[in-house]
Amino acid sequence: GDADADTPMSSQTRLRIGSVTKTFTATVLLQLMQEEALSLDDAVSIYLPGVDDAITVRLLATMRSGIADYTSDPELVARIIADPTAPHDADEVIEAGLAAPRLFAPDAQFAYSNTNYAILGRIIEQVSRQPFASLLSARILDPLGLSATWWPGDVGTLPSPFGRGYTLTFPGATPDHPVDTTDFNPAWASTAGALVSTASDLLTYARALGTGSLLEPATHRLRIASLADAPGLGSGVEYGIGLMRISGWIGHSGHIPGYRAACYYHP
């Protein structure tokens, strides 16, 4: 948990959970669909003018939009590396993802892209007229009692108790002196990967996610049915609406500098 203080991890240690965030974003999206606030077949251009009319909300959620991942933009990555504590917000990363050439025609194939889920967060806020933090609390965290799970917004510090993050992949890192990423601002990851949680909370959440207790039965069935082969994520891995399936396990993996997470449930 802290290499200098020799503090161990525990099930109550707060960690950045990276792309496990996508499962929360997609769950709120599906709840709004149930309430007819939006449709998965809505063109994204309804909410974000200028986007190809053939790209739908469903294609964002299933990673079949063809929109490039903003993390592949060298200029954006350079800005984040130059000042990793600065709040590079969702608008900045969405702009970078949309400015890049499309990877393929809409629905032609699969390609994992964080830009898709940053856009979904913006759509969710637009149709609900509420900030994502409020929706997250009212629709998932409070009903499940996930008291240690936290939306950081544009705040880089972590509430205690937290585990420090360390990476060897950041400039200047060496095996003897990894870069401490604990105070890196996660705002650039937005609704694609900014959440903070604990192993204890994720155990509760994984069961709710895997059983569909936060959704109507028909909506959960639709979500499970959306799982399909996901080339590029590994042999036998499937991807659907904010879900991965690996050897029967349903959930999602996450990675953000200094932290990794895996949140899965087996039916």
Kindly list the catalytic residues.
Answer: 19
| Residue in this structure with the two tokens 């350079």, named with its chain if needed | 78
Q: What is the CA radius of gyration of the chain?
A: 18
- Cβ neighbours of residue 128 closer than 8 Å, sequence gap 6 or more: 32, 37, 135
Task: Give the separation between CA 197 and CA 84, rounded to whole angstroms.
Answer: 21
Quickly list DSSP for 144-180: HT-TT-B--TT--S-PSSBPPPEESSSTT--SSSPEE
Task: Give the separation between CA 130 and CA 145, rounded to whole angstroms.
Answer: 21
Task: Give the separation between CA 89 and CA 100, rounded to whole angstroms.
Answer: 18
Tokens of 110: 């699969």
